[in-house]
Chain A
Amino acid sequence: MNDTMSRYRTMTGHRLFWPAAVLFVMLAANTIYRPGFLSIELKDGHLYGTPIDILRLSAPLILVALGMTLVISTGGIDLSVGSLCAISGAIACMYISKQPDQNSVGVVVTALAMALGVSLVLGAWNGVLVAVIGIQPIIATLILMVAGRGLAQLITEGQIITINSEPYRAIGLGHALTLPLAIFIALAAALLVAAFTRRTALGMIIESVGGNAMASRLAGIRSGRVIFLVYVISAACAAVAGFMMTANVSSADGNAAGLWVELDAILAVVIGGTSLAGGRFFLSGTIIGALIIQTLTTTVYAMDISPQTSLLFKAVVVIAVCLIQAPAFRARFSRRRRNAPPPATIADKPKEQVPA
């Protein structure tokens, strides 16, 4: 009994337990509502099915959220990622659309390199504003969030740029080993970020800066460099996400691409267990968080919830998810349960309410 109890505690105490449980419940609810929800079939050598769709569609969000995790861990925030998605997609599509042979792999690679390069510069701009000039992150990145939309419009000259490039389209819709290529790109990015932070000391140093900036400085950490770096990484992640978003529709829309993705990304990070105050970060939690958000979006469509109420529905679920994760909220319930039978030691007297 005691053993099961302590095992239960260890399990529920694991930081990934609650996000994973929420994801599981969502999938289960969907399956009950629509029994075919989890079914996957092989067609033309490609796997199809709702779970595959969820994975594919969550890939851009996972990418953005990975970068956001590192930024948030330093105690910062990056609001400009949505605009960066639009800019990177716009540059890539614009370049490709101007080339005579849009299907050339060389053209696409050049386009990606150009767009990535510009995004890195913009990430460095964020980094300089925060780390060197010392502007508060929310304001510093707000600048690019607003200006970036304008920049994307400028690049596309206010038009929606449509391209017809198979290699580019593959980034969003291509397949490899029966699975959508986007899943592998997101997975590779996750492994890369994980290796970059956990195989080096970067992760610990980011957590240290986010946990206690003053103490970190006195321990000799040049925190400016680290903070600069996380904004550049975040921009790079957003750029790749932008490629996926525009490749999905083979067009770049400076207005719509990546709109509000920064908010979804922040939500994914928080659901994943990383505190907005900075400190410890959890990449695996962030990925589960992103999957939860995408599953929720899919659920809204799958359950035929009317478009008028779908945002409200999402909001209610998000509030529930956040509450379930909050230890203080859970404690309130578990305490109420525990207190129901009064403890034996003071059972002789009815429990007195302390005057508040």
Chain B
Amino acid sequence: MTDSRPVLTMTGISKSFPGVRALHDVNFRLFPGEVHALMGENGAGKSTLIKVLTGVYDTDAGATTLDGEPVSFTGPMQATAAGVSTVFQEVNLCTNLSVAENIFIGREPRVFGAVRWGEVRRRARALLARLDLDLDVSAPLGSYSLAIQQMVAIARAIDIKARVLILDEPTSSLDASEVAQLFRIMRQLRDEGIAILFVTHFLDQVYEISDRITVLRNGGLVGEYLTTELPQLSLVEKMIGKELDVLEGIEEHSRRDLATLEEGTPLVAVSGFGRAGAVEPFSLTIHAGEVVGLAGLLGSGRTEVARLLFGADRTDGGQVAIDGAASSLRTPAQAIDHGVGFCSENRRAEGIVADLSVRENMILAMQAARGWLRPIPRRRQDELVDKYVKALNIRPADPEVPVRNLSGGNQQKVLLARWLITEPRLLILDEPTRGIDIGAKTEIQRLVTQLSDGGMAVLFISAELEEVLRLSHKVAVMRDRQMVAQLANDESLDADRIMQTIASGSHREEADR
């Protein structure tokens, strides 16, 4: 499978940001015709290594060779021209341009300086056909789902005669069939001799597709291993740096009885909430201390439900009662006044304010609720921020660093802290564990359990059924923009039954059983 000569080597790479040592003396090599997984927790330096490799960042020290020749790229364009193509973690495309334009932007086929649009569209269609995608290449990219946008980004990357293809978290927004489709493409490209660098948090995917694994921890190199020689448990231990039975961390928590929880007045009871084109009218009650899971496929209306409950979108009709009294949830500010918090799944666009510091991002919601005339005293801010930086193990621990310098998982924790600081009564978490590593994932799951034990209601949205099952007292199932069932999470409920409900939508039989 692998040649003896690496196509790419990186030796002694170091890189620091103000207040953060992102990489320290890291070595990395990549052989032609292999899928090489780069593993590590959030903030271990995976994204930084990729950005150094592709010239987005300068290095402080170290050397890179491509085909034995020293190279130093000054930007992704140059790296791409040399055969190193990247699909970055967050889709970096222009949603207002067409699919075809996105694939060829910056390297359009030209004649006498004029772009040959017919050729652009024809080649875009051919490329997408190779990926088994049937899209209207003239339609704006924004009209397609995030998953499709991801595939277009990959199409863009493989169009260039790439020898090295870097995929940073390509699967985090894809559903199972789309992942399978991606893996088929990856195998095809690998067999053509392309070296693929693959970053993911899904361990199963690593073992399904990769030939070799390099593990980073806290900006340093832990080691390089053949996938066949590294059992899953050892991999997790190497990533975390201590022997931990993290995978079992949550299981033993005593699950309180749903009937007991649902006694008394519900904290929030909505009926007939819905929005044309987004989600069919639904009814849902959430009690204090209850974790309600929201399961369903990508695009099944999970996020839309959350947005309606938070007032981010306005419902077309229906009623809401809070503590039994008729109320309304028409704007986020109003929802926050009622004690609702909402962590969006799209943390870059709808979550963090990249310019502001970790501290400012954390206190933002609390400050907004108080109004700008009543600033939170600086000492109180520092107390709160310090408490949550410690409690959530946010790295780097310097709250004055701009939040954009943090890794994705740590940004997610900052967002969580923003809401925990407001001490919400209902916290809506939309995919809080997507794209973050096992350690942080367990921490967040444990946190949800603790919060609900403390009386907070949680609406937990996740594509991972195991996670939903582990945490929830009740699971609402979404299918084709409808809430098709609400199932009590007792012994009889398992992933298979949720899957069947998603597949068949036969909620009546399920609910009656």
CA distance A351 to B74 in the complex (A): 14
- Enumerate chain B residues within 8 angstroms of A211, measured Cβ to Cβ: 353-356
Shortest beta-carbon distance from A228 to chain B in Å: 13
**Given A208-B353, A212-B352, 16 extra CB contacts under 8 A:** A200-B372, A201-B371, A211-B353, A211-B354, A212-B354, A215-B352, A216-B353, A218-B350, A219-B368, A220-B335, A220-B336, A221-B368, A335-B58, A335-B74, A345-B12, A355-B82
| Contact indicator B78/A218 (Cβ below 8 Å) | no
| Contact indicator B332/A218 (Cβ below 8 Å) | yes
| Contact indicator B332/A220 (Cβ below 8 Å) | yes
Partner of A200, one of B312, B344, B354, B375: B375
Point out which of A226, A343, A346, A354 has the most chain B C-beta atoms below 10 A from its C-beta: A354
* A-B pairs with lowest CB-CB distance, top 4: A220-B336, A220-B368, A279-B355, A211-B355
- Enumerate chain A residues within 8 angstroms of B353, measured Cβ to Cβ: 207-208, 211-212, 215-216, 279
| Contact indicator A201/B375 (Cβ below 8 Å) | yes
Q: Known contacts A201-B367, A212-B354: does B418 contact A219 (CB below 8 Å)? A: yes
Shortest beta-carbon distance from B82 to chain A in Å: 5
Q: Which residue of B lies closest to A347 (CB)?
A: B70
- Enumerate chain A residues within 8 angstroms of B351, measured Cβ to Cβ: 215, 218
| Contact indicator B356/A208 (Cβ below 8 Å) | yes
CB within 8 Å of B: which of A158-214?
199-202, 204-205, 207-208, 211-212, 214
B69 at the interface (CB under 8 A from A): yes
CB within 8 Å of A: which of B339-358?
342, 344, 349-356
- Enumerate chain A residues within 8 angstroms of B12, measured Cβ to Cβ: 345
Q: Known contacts A214-B350, A352-B69: does B367 contact A205 (CB below 8 Å)? A: yes
| Contact indicator B70/A352 (Cβ below 8 Å) | yes
| Contact indicator B70/A351 (Cβ below 8 Å) | yes
A149 at the interface (CB under 8 A from B): no
- Enumerate chain A residues within 8 angstroms of B73, measured Cβ to Cβ: 354
CA distance A264 to B18 in the complex (A): 33
CA distance A226 to B372 in the complex (A): 9
CA distance A220 to B369 in the complex (A): 7
B333 at the interface (CB under 8 A from A): yes
CA distance A219 to B352 in the complex (A): 9
Partner of A280, one of B71, B74, B352, B355: B355
CB within 8 Å of B: which of A294-329?
none
Q: Which residue of B lies closest to A210 (CB)?
A: B355
Interface residues on A, range: 20 to 34
CB within 8 Å of B: which of A263-298?
279-280
| Contact indicator B71/A352 (Cβ below 8 Å) | yes
Q: B33-71: contact bitstring with A at CB < 8 Å (1 yes, 0 no)?
A: 000000000000000000000000010001100000111
Q: Known contacts A221-B333, A279-B355, A346-B70: does B350 contact A215 (CB below 8 Å)? A: yes
CA distance A65 to B373 in the complex (A): 23
- Enumerate chain A residues within 8 angstroms of B58, measured Cβ to Cβ: 335
Q: Which residue of A lies closest to B360 (CB)?
A: A204
CA distance A355 to B326 in the complex (A): 68
A98 at the interface (CB under 8 A from B): no
Shortest beta-carbon distance from A6 to chain B in Å: 11
B129 at the interface (CB under 8 A from A): no
| Contact indicator B78/A356 (Cβ below 8 Å) | yes
| Contact indicator A204/B356 (Cβ below 8 Å) | yes
- Enumerate chain A residues within 8 angstroms of B62, measured Cβ to Cβ: 345
Listed A/B pairs (10) with beta-carbon separation below 8 Å: A207-B355, A208-B353, A215-B351, A219-B418, A220-B369, A222-B333, A222-B368, A345-B12, A346-B63, A354-B73
- Enumerate chain B residues within 8 angstroms of A352, measured Cβ to Cβ: 69-71
Shortest beta-carbon distance from B7 to chain A in Å: 15
Point out which of B342, B354, B372 has the most chain A C-beta atoms below 10 A from its C-beta: B372
Point out which of B82, B344, B350, B368 has the most chain A C-beta atoms below 10 A from its C-beta: B368
B511 at the interface (CB under 8 A from A): no
Q: Which residue of B lies closest to A13 (CB)?
A: B18
- Enumerate chain A residues within 8 angstroms of B81, measured Cβ to Cβ: 354-356
- Enumerate chain A residues within 8 angstroms of B69, measured Cβ to Cβ: 349, 352
Partner of B333, one of A220, A335, A354: A220
Interface residues on B, range: 35 or more
CA distance A345 to B62 in the complex (A): 8
A7 at the interface (CB under 8 A from B): no
CA distance A201 to B370 in the complex (A): 10
B310 at the interface (CB under 8 A from A): yes
| Contact indicator B349/A202 (Cβ below 8 Å) | no
A46 at the interface (CB under 8 A from B): no
- Enumerate chain A residues within 8 angstroms of B78, measured Cβ to Cβ: 354, 356
CA distance A201 to B375 in the complex (A): 5
- Enumerate chain A residues within 8 angstroms of B344, measured Cβ to Cβ: 215, 218
B364 at the interface (CB under 8 A from A): yes
A217 at the interface (CB under 8 A from B): yes
Q: Known contacts A354-B81, A354-B82: does B356 contact A217 (CB below 8 Å)? A: no
CA distance A218 to B419 in the complex (A): 11
CA distance A217 to B333 in the complex (A): 8
| Contact indicator B332/A217 (Cβ below 8 Å) | yes
CB within 8 Å of A: which of B189-217?
none
| Contact indicator B355/A349 (Cβ below 8 Å) | no
CA distance A208 to B194 in the complex (A): 43
Q: Which residue of B lies closest to A229 (CB)?
A: B372
- Enumerate chain B residues within 8 angstroms of A202, measured Cβ to Cβ: 372-373
| Contact indicator B349/A215 (Cβ below 8 Å) | yes
| Contact indicator B372/A201 (Cβ below 8 Å) | yes
| Contact indicator B333/A205 (Cβ below 8 Å) | no
- Enumerate chain A residues within 8 angstroms of B356, measured Cβ to Cβ: 204, 207-208, 211, 280
B394 at the interface (CB under 8 A from A): no
CA distance A251 to B62 in the complex (A): 67
Q: Which residue of B lies closest to A278 (CB)?
A: B355
- Enumerate chain B residues within 8 angstroms of A356, measured Cβ to Cβ: 78, 81
Q: B6-37: contact bitstring with A at CB < 8 Å (1 yes, 0 no)?
A: 00000010000000000000000000000000
- Enumerate chain A residues within 8 angstroms of B373, measured Cβ to Cβ: 200-202
- Enumerate chain A residues within 8 angstroms of B376, measured Cβ to Cβ: 201
Q: Which residue of B lies closest to A198 (CB)?
A: B375
CA distance A222 to B344 in the complex (A): 18
- Enumerate chain B residues within 8 angstroms of A226, measured Cβ to Cβ: 372
Q: Which residue of A lies closest to B375 (CB)?
A: A201
- Enumerate chain B residues within 8 angstroms of A355, measured Cβ to Cβ: 81-82
Q: Known contacts A211-B354, A280-B355, A352-B69: does B368 contact A205 (CB below 8 Å)? A: yes
Shortest beta-carbon distance from A78 to chain B in Å: 20
CA distance A218 to B335 in the complex (A): 10
| Contact indicator B71/A354 (Cβ below 8 Å) | yes
| Contact indicator B70/A208 (Cβ below 8 Å) | no
- Enumerate chain B residues within 8 angstroms of A207, measured Cβ to Cβ: 353, 355-356, 360
Shortest beta-carbon distance from A208 to chain B in Å: 5
- Enumerate chain B residues within 8 angstroms of A212, measured Cβ to Cβ: 349, 352-355
CA distance A355 to B501 in the complex (A): 55
Q: Known contacts A200-B372, A221-B333: does B63 contact A345 (CB below 8 Å)? A: yes
B147 at the interface (CB under 8 A from A): no
Shortest beta-carbon distance from A196 to chain B in Å: 10
CA distance A208 to B362 in the complex (A): 12
Partner of B364, one of A208, A343, A349: A208
Point out which of A199, A201, A214, A352 has the most chain B C-beta atoms below 10 A from its C-beta: A201
- Enumerate chain A residues within 8 angstroms of B103, measured Cβ to Cβ: none
CB within 8 Å of A: which of B301-332?
310, 312, 331-332
